[in-house]
Amino acid sequence: MPVPFRVLQFGLGTMGRIITQTLMDRGNLELVGVVDVDPEYAGKSVEEILGSGRKTSTSVFTSLESALHVLGDQPADITLIATLSSLNDIASSISDCFEAGMNVVSLCEELSYPYIRHPELSRNLDGLAKKHGKTVLGTGINPGFLMDLLPICLSAPCQRVDTIHVTRCINSSRRRSSFQKKIGTGMSPEDFKTAISEGAITGHVGLVESIRMIDDALGLELDYVEELPPEPVIASADIETPVADVKKGWVIGLKSTGIGRKDQRNVVTLSFVAHAGATPEFDEVSIEGHPKIVQRIEGGVQGDYGTVGMVLNMIPLVIEAQPGLFTMKDLPCPRNTQSFWRSD
Ligand SMILES: NC(=O)c1ccc[n+]([C@@H]2O[C@H](COP(=O)([O-])OP(=O)(O)OC[C@H]3O[C@@H](n4cnc5c(N)ncnc54)[C@H](OP(=O)(O)O)[C@@H]3O)[C@@H](O)[C@H]2O)c1
C-alpha cells in the first residue's frame, strides 16, 4: 500500500484555502492539521471553515505548540508555510518546525533567494537545518519559477547569453482577492503612492530575489540589482473588479520592473504587469544571445493555481533532499509529483 507524505500547513488565508482543498484531493499527500493565528478559527475543523462537506475532521490550531500538543511530536514530514512574505516574520516558525522534526517548504517570497537580503539569517537557518537533518525551500510561481528558474533552464542551449528579459502580463481580476488588494486595486493614485511608500501595500514581492537567483545560477556577477518603484496602472474608464468598483482615473493595478546591471548595461530585466482587464495575458522569456531564445506561454499560467501546483509538487523533492537551506536552482528539476510516494 503506497504511503502518503504527511503535511502540516501554516496559513489558511486566500492561498492557504486553495492549498488545503487541493492537498486534501491529492492521494500522495495527507493533511495532518492546519495552523493559523486567526482566533476565529480556534477549535474549528478545516471542514467547518471551508465548508468542504467532507467527513474527515482535520483540526485548525492557533499555534504550532497547540498542534504538537494534540498531534504529538514529529506530526508531519513537512510543514508548508503560506503566511507572510518577509523572512524575518517566518524565521522563528521555520526553526520551530526543524525542532519538531519537520522539513519546511514555503511561499515566503524572501525565502526564494534569501542570501543577499538576509545573509546572517540565511546562514543561521542553513546551520539549523543541517543540525536537525532537515531541508527548507522557498518556492512559488513567481518568485520560484516563471521569472527565475524558467529563464535559468531556458539558457541551457545558449552558447552565449547577452541579456535576459522576462515579462508577465496578468489580468488581476482572475487572481485571488489578497493579490488584487496588494497591487492597489481601487485606490486613488495619491493613496497608492502613499500606501506603497509606507508599506501598507507591498505590490509584487520577489523581483530582486528572482534576479539574484539568475545571477547566481548563470555566474553573471551583476554589479547592481534594483527594483524600480511600482507605477500604478490607471483606469481609462469606470471598471468593475472583484474587489472594488473602480472609477476612471483610479488605480486598477501596477507595473513593477526589476533590473540587474553589469558594466552599465541592463543584463536582466523583469517586467511584471498586473491589472484588472489586462489583455492579452502571457508569460514570456526572451534571451538575446547565441542562439536567441524566445519562449511565450500564451494566456499565462494562472498564478494562484500555479503557486499551489509548485508548492505541492516540491514536497517530495524537499523531503528527499540533503539537509540545508536551498533555492529552486539547487534541487532536482521540478516536475509534477502527484505519483510520488513516501519510500518507507
Ligand atoms: N512565491 C509565490 O509565487 C507566491 C504566490 C502566492 C502567494 N505568495 C505569498 O504567500 C503568502 C500567503 O498568501 P495569501 O494570499 O494566502 O495571504 P493571506 O490571505 O494574507 O493569508 C495569510 C494567512 O496566514 C495567517 N498567518 C499570519 N501569520 C501567521 C503565523 N505566524 N502562523 C500561522 N498563520 C499565520 C494569516 O492570519 P491573519 O489574517 O489573522 O493574520 C492569514 O490567515 C503571502 O506572503 C503571499 O505573498 C507567494
Q: pLDDT tens digits for 124-142?
A: 999 999 999 999 999 999 9
Verify whether ligand 1 is closer than 6 Å to residue 70 (CB atom): no
Contact 135, 318 (CB under 8 A): yes
Average the pLDDT over 148-157 and give the result.
Answer: 98
Strand runs (DSSP E) across 107-146, as ranges?
Answer: 135-138
pTM of the model: 0.95
pLDDT tens-digit series, residues 168-216: 999 999 998 989 999 999 999 999 999 999 988 888 899 999 999 999 9
CA dihedral 190, 196, 201, 206 (to 10 degrees): 140
- How far apart CA 92 and CA 135 sit, in angstroms, is 15
Amino acid (1-letter code) at residue 87:
L
Q: Tell me the Cα Rg of the chain.
A: 20
- How far apart CA 113 and CA 211 sit, in angstroms, is 9
pLDDT tens-digit series, residues 237-284: 999 999 999 999 999 999 999 999 999 999 999 999 999 999 999 999
Verify whether ligand 1 is closer than 6 Å to residue 11 (CB atom): yes
Verify whether ligand 1 is closer than 6 Å to residue 207 (CB atom): no
State the pLDDT at residue 199.
87
What is the overall mean pLDDT for the chain?
Answer: 95
Pocket test for ligand 1, best of 10, 107, 209 (most atoms within 8 A of CB): 107
Closest-CA residue, ligand 1 atom 40, reads 38
Closest-CA residue, ligand 1 atom 9, reads 107
State the pLDDT at residue 202.
82
Cis peptide bond prior to 291, omega within 30° of 0: yes
Enumerate residues 6+ apart whose C-beta is below 8 A from 56.
24, 47
The alpha carbon of 221 and the centre of ligand 1 are apart by a number of angstroms equal to 33
State the pLDDT at residue 43.
85
- How far apart CA 52 and CA 46 sit, in angstroms, is 8
Percent of the chain with pLDDT over 70: 99
Pocket test for ligand 1, best of 15, 90, 168 (most atoms within 8 A of CB): 15
Q: Which residue has the higher pLDDT, 88 or 50?
A: 88
State the pLDDT at residue 52.
65
The alpha carbon of 163 and the centre of ligand 1 are apart by a number of angstroms equal to 34
Verify whether ligand 1 is closer than 6 Å to residue 270 (CB atom): no
Instruction: Dig out the grid coordinates for 3 from the structure.
Output: 504511503
Structural domains in the chain plus CATH codes: 5-140+305-326 (3.40.50.720), 149-300 (no CATH)
In which band, very low, low, confident or very high, does the pLDDT at 55 lie, cut at 50, 70 and 90?
low
Beta bridge partners of 262: 265
Q: Shortest CA distance to 247 belongs to which of 257, 256, 255, 237? A: 237
Burial class of residue 231 in the structure, from the number of CB atoms within 10 Å of its CB (0-12 exposed, 13-18 middle, 19+ buried): middle
Indicate whether 326 pLDDT > 90: yes
Burial class of residue 270 in the structure, from the number of CB atoms within 10 Å of its CB (0-12 exposed, 13-18 middle, 19+ buried): buried
pLDDT tens-digit series, residues 81-103: 999 999 999 999 999 999 999 99
